[in-house]
Amino acid sequence: MSKFLTTCLFLLIFLSFINAQTGYSNYSQQTARLNSLARTYPQLTKLHSLIKTAGGKDIWQLTIGSGNMDTKPALVVVGGVEGNYLIGTELAIGFAENLLQGSATDSIKTLLNKTTFYVFPNMSPDAMEQYFAAIKYERQGNATITDDDRDGKTNEDGLDDLDGNGKITMMRIESPVGEYKTHPDDPRVLVKADLSKGEKGTFAIYMEGIDNDKDGAMNEDGEGGVWFNKNFTYKHPSFTPGSGEFAVSELETRALVDYLYEQFNVYAVVSFGSNNNLSTPLTYNATAATQTIVAAWLQQDVKINSMVSDLYNKAVNVKDAPAANAGGGDFYSWAYFHYGRYSFSTPGWWVPKTKPDTTKQEKAFTLEDPMANYLRWASQQDITNTFTPWKLIQHPDFSNQKVVVGGVDPFAMINPPYKIVADLVKKHSNFLVKLAGYQPELDIVNLKTEKIGGGLTRITLDIINKGALASHSKLGERSYWVKRINVKLNTLATQSVISGKKIQVLNALEGYGSQSLSWLVKGSGKLTIEAGSPTTGGKTIIIDL
Ligand SMILES: [Ca+2]
Ligand SMILES: [Ca+2]
Ligand SMILES: [Ca+2]
Ligand SMILES: [Ca+2]
């Protein structure tokens, strides 16, 4: 082989080595990936820092589209809704990468001509870095310093790595008054004793740690301040740890809300976090939906949710999602209830329900438990390094009791092994592209002009929505923060409108819905009719009377 070829080959191997992602990206790797997209696709992207967090990290916003992006109907994609869901940040950045890598194809070109994507890959960068820290634990709070137990001291009692393995797992303490017992089919797992069945608990469990400030509470106020997903206005869980001093108290929460309220072109928000109305859609709750303060999705919006959920399940094809309830102060609820947009959320991945492997003499569980299911799944996947065997330690707060530390690694049960991330990214990108295909789109059809004598012309037409999604959510229709479809007749000074409104605002136009309008105009010459809204795009027609 020539020297040149050898050098090329070496360079190629070297390049593929530095390019091949082998694990979840940390903050600086995410930043590099986003910058690389902005450099490679300058015509189709705009990258900017929305704000810096208390921890000094940029909240990146990558806008993808073409032309005047803020004037086109838009989808918002948000990752890092919770700092421990790293998969969500990967799905958001990966979507941007997939979309842009495909941007030379006709279908994506067409898509980017009519849709804008506002991608916020990571709303919790301060918290997420804990995954990469010397002591690894699931954290959601940003770098704001808080006094979670209101004892006048801040961050005085966090988690402690008692067995020195660099991660925070669980700690179990033998106790005759403990509430937990070992799982009947897997002694590595603890489950709550069922008192109604006469069962007795023998263990108490805690996160790994000690009562550093000796106030009687364990790990009650560690590093990690306010949770992005607890800091929003809808059902803000005031006075609970992580919620912030008040709703929207945090820089990143405030910046996102301020930004989105100005983007009237956004028709749907897709976020990646613990909430889920994609693999399992919401059901209609008439009582809660008809209260004065609406506490559940309105009926028409539930139907849309169901349609979008079908789309998701076809694109992503995952079953048996764990039940998830919005905890209050969460972004996903805010996007629907206070922003008035369709709001969709998915964790993106969860541990599949795992059948026993009969070749390994495994039997069906007599008691369903997420951790037991995880361990069975992990062993079938040959993942053997995510469980720390329980190990006896000396604990200063329980010197007379037997304390063991161990359990499943932090992050393992909510973030998939990295090797399947690319496939999940592909499926979710596919879903987002298809969802954009459901975008509301306004058109004017069936135009008819009839001369009816006396210089009068009757104009009739239909305003239609060519998209599957309604022009606005039903809840949004009631909100001042949504701009509805405006229909405007522009007449010459010599023309006058005898009947019909010169300017009118329509209610939400359902998917594939239409509304007929008519006017009686006196005079001759040209007139124009404009119809449109930020979420549907607009159309203008010229009529010669
Ligand atoms: Ca404190
Ligand atoms: Ca540990
Ligand atoms: Ca304490
Ligand atoms: Ca304390």
Reading the block at residue 90, the tokens are 């990967």
pLDDT at 6: 62
pLDDT at 380: 95
Terminal alpha carbon distance of the chain: 79
Single-letter amino acid code for the residue at 515: Q
What's the pTM value of the predicted model, to 2 decimals? 0.94
Q: Report CA(347)–ligand 2 centroid distance (Å).
A: 26
Q: Report CA(208)–ligand 1 centroid distance (Å).
A: 18
HSE (side-chain half, CA atoms, 13 Å) at 246: 2
- Tell me: the pLDDT tens digits for 88-107? 999 999 999 999 999 999 99
Q: Cα–Cα distance between 504 and 487 in angstroms, integer?
A: 5
Side by side, the strands of the sheet bearing 170-174 are 190-192, 180-182, 203-207, 170-174, 403-408, 387-393
Q: Report CA(199)–ligand 4 centroid distance (Å).
A: 34
The DSSP element (H or E) to which 336 belongs, if any, is: helix 331-337
- The burial of 456, by beta-carbon neighbours within 10 Å (0-12 exposed, 13-18 middle, 19 or more buried), is given as middle
pLDDT at 528: 97
Q: Cα–Cα distance between 125 and 127 in angstroms, integer?
A: 5
Nearest to 21, CA basis, from 115, 97, 105: 97
Tokens 């004598």 locate to 453
Q: Report CA(258)–ligand 2 centroid distance (Å).
A: 40
Q: Report CA(345)–ligand 2 centroid distance (Å).
A: 32
- Tell me: the pLDDT tens digits for 326-364? 889 999 999 999 999 999 999 999 999 999 998 988 999
Question: Quick one: which ligand is closest to 219's CA?
Answer: 3
Question: Quick one: which ligand is closest to 148's CA?
Answer: 1
Question: Quick one: which ligand is closest to 404's CA?
Answer: 2
Q: Report CA(172)–ligand 1 centroid distance (Å).
A: 24
- Average pLDDT, 10 consecutive residues per value, the chain (545 residues): 58 52 94 98 98 98 97 98 98 98 97 98 98 97 95 95 96 94 95 92 96 95 94 96 96 98 98 96 95 94 98 92 87 98 98 92 93 96 94 94 97 97 98 98 97 95 98 92 94 95 95 97 96 97 95
pLDDT at 115: 98
Q: Report CA(150)–ligand 3 centroid distance (Å).
A: 11
Q: Report CA(146)–ligand 3 centroid distance (Å).
A: 14
Q: Report CA(157)–ligand 3 centroid distance (Å).
A: 5
Q: What is the 3-state secondary structure (H, E, C) of 442-504?
A: EEEEEEEEEEEECCEEEEEEEEEECCCCCCCCHHHHCCCCCCCEEEEEECCCCCEEEECCCEE
26 Ramachandran zone, left/alpha/beta (phi>0; psi -120 to 50): beta
Q: What is the 3-state secondary structure (H, E, C) of 338-368?
A: CCCCEEEEECCCCCCCCCCCHHHCCCCCCCC
Nearest-10 crossing angle of helices 299-316, 421-436: 140
Q: Report CA(44)–ligand 3 centroid distance (Å).
A: 51
pLDDT at 319: 82
Q: Cα–Cα distance between 381 and 389 in angstroms, integer?
A: 19
Q: Report CA(148)–ligand 1 centroid distance (Å).
A: 5
Contact 222, 137 (CB under 8 A): no
Q: How many other CB atoms are there within 10 angstroms of residue 67's CB atom?
A: 12
pLDDT at 17: 47
User: CB neighbours of 56 closer than 8 A, spacing ≥ 6?
Assistant: 143
Q: How far, CA to CA in Å, does 488 sit from each of 36, 483, 516? A: 44, 14, 14
pLDDT at 2: 58
